Amino acid sequence: MKISELSPKIVWKHFYDLTQIPRPSGYEKEVTDFLVQFAKNNELEYQEDKAGNVLIRKKAVNGRETSRKVILQSHVDMVPQKNSDKEHDFTKDAIETIIEGDWVKANNTTLGADNGVGVAASLAVLESTDIQHGPLEVLFTVSEETGMDGAFGLEPDFLQGDILINLDSEEEGELFVGCAGGVDANISWQYRVEPASAGNTYQIAIKGLKGGHSGLDIHLGRGNANKILSQMLLDLKKECDIKISAFHGGNMRNAIPREALAVVMVRDCNVEKLKTAIDNKQEIYKSRFKDTEPDLTITLTEHDTIDSVMSAYDFNKTMEAINTCPDGPINMSDFMPGVVQTSTNLSVVKIGEGKCEVQLLLRSSDDIEKKYLGREIKNHFKMVEAKTEFLGDYPGWQPDTNSAILAIAKNTYSQLYHKEPVVKVIHAGLECGIIGGKYSNLDMISIGPTIQHPHSPDEKVHIGSVEKFWNFLKGLLEAV
C-alpha cells in the first residue's frame, strides 16, 4: 500500500506530495512554489512575503462569515538527517517512505512528518468542501528548523486573524499552550599546531546513537557523540599518547549528535595498545548506555597520512572544554512537572587546521534563566580563550490558562473522543512565541499527530493518530 492510500486520503495524498519535494531548511523554493501553484489551482487568494513565507486565504462557508478568523500555521522545511551508510541528497532526492505496522517512517532518513503532516492537513482544509468553517488564513513559514527565520521575518500587517492554531506539536491528544525559547551559542578559538611526526594515523568513529530532537528527547538519557568522543580521547591520550589532527561531530543545532569522528596519530609502539583500548572503551560505553543506546559502536580504521596535529597542551584544554561543557537537562519546570524547563545541546564540534568551532542550542521557557545559562557557557569556554556569539535568540511562549481557544479545544476533543485532552507546555521551540510577540492579539494553541524521534532517521508518525488529529482539527474549526 502507498501512503497516499491511507486514511484520511485527503491528508495523506498531500503528505505524499511533500515527500517528493526536497525541502531541507534553506532549500524551500520548490515547496513554496508548489504552495503558490496549489493556491492558483484552487482559486484561492495568496501572498508571499520578503522572508519567503506563503499565506493562503480561504473565505468562510455560507453562514459563517462573521466567525472569528482562524490562522492555521505550520513550517515547510524539514531536518535533513540520515544514517551514514545511506546515499541520499536532501536537496535533490525524494523521501522514500515505508509503512511498518501502525507507523509511517522513511528509509534510513528523516521522514519530514515534522512538520509535513501539519502542512498536509492545512492543504486538506483549504481543499475541503465539507468543513463548516469561518474565514481562514493558512500560514506556511520557512527555515523554522535552522533559526525560525520565517517567523522572525513576518511583517506586522501580514496576518489578519484572531486565533492561531499551530500544527507543529507531536503528541495526539495533547494540547500545547507554551513552549521554550532558545538561542544559538557559536563558540570558536584557535589552537597551536605541530608537524606530524612519524607514526600511524587512524580514524576513531562513534556511530549508531539514536540522536533525536534536542528539545523533545533531551531528557531521555541518550548519548551525545561529541561528549563520548571527547572523553574517550582524553583517556586515550593518557593510555596511548595519541595526538589529534581533526574532530567532527554532529551537524544540526537542534539534533542530538548521533555520530562523531576523530583523526589521530599514534607511535608504532602504541598501536596494539590503542586497538586494545578501543575494544575496552566500546565495552565500557555499551554497558553504560545499554538501555538507551543498544546500537552504539566505536570503530578504529586506518587513515591517510596527515601533516599536522594539535599541540599536547591545547589537546588537553580543548578536550576538557568540550567534555565538561554543560549538556542535557539543566532545570525542570515548576509549571509542568516532568517537563524540562532549561537545557543545552552540545550540537556540533569541528576541529582542524588550527581552529575549533563549537555550536550549542540553549533552550528555556524562562528567558532570564536562558540568559544566565548563556553567561555560564561563555565563562566555561574562557578556559580556551574562546570567542562566544549568541545568535537567533527567540522568546518562549508563556501559557494562558484563560485562553478561549484552549477552552474550545478541550470541549471539542472531549465531545469527539469522550476523554479529556492533556494540556501541556513543550520543551521545544514553536513559532508561537515569535508570532505572538509580533501579533499580541492572537489567542494560540498547538496540536498535532503522534510523531516519534523527530530530527533523526528513526522519525515515524503514527497512522491512526493522523486521522484523529484531522478529525479534531475539523471539529475545532467548526466549533470556533
Active site residue 77: yes
Alpha carbon of 261 to those of 160, 301, 348, 426, 480: distances in Å?
A: 49, 11, 12, 32, 53
How many beta carbons lie within 10 A of that of residue 337, not counting itself? 7
**81 contacts 256 by C-beta, under 8 angstroms:** no
CA 265 to chain centre: 35
Give backbone dihedrals phi and psi of 77, rounded to 5 degrees, phi first.
Answer: -85, 165
- On the 0-12 / 13-18 / 19+ scale of CB atoms within 10 A, 165 is buried
Residue whose grid cell is 534563566: 369
Q: What is the radius of gyration, based on Cα positions, of the chain? A: 24
| Distance linking the first and last C-alpha atoms of the chain | 36
One of 77, 184, 293, 366 is an active-site residue; which one? 77
Cα angle 96, 97, 103 (rounded to 5 degrees) comes to 160
Cα–Cα distance between 242 and 248 in angstroms, integer? 17
One of 28, 144, 314, 366 is an active-site residue; which one? 144
DSSP run (H or E) holding 342? strand 340-352
DSSP run (H or E) holding 118? helix 113-127
Cα–Cα distance between 247 and 475 in angstroms, integer? 52
Cα–Cα distance between 199 and 245 in angstroms, integer? 13
Cα–Cα distance between 412 and 117 in angstroms, integer? 21
Torsion of CA 317, 319, 322, 324, to 10 degrees: -80
Cα angle 49, 39, 161 (rounded to 5 degrees) comes to 60
For residue 234, the 8-state DSSP code is: H
- The sign of the dihedral angle between the CA atoms of 168, 172, 174, 175 is positive
C-alpha cell, 8 = 484520511
Under 8 Å CB-to-CB from 167, ≥6 apart: which residues? 72, 73, 74, 115, 117, 118, 119, 121, 122, 446, 447, 448, 473
By annotation, the residues acting in catalysis are 77, 144
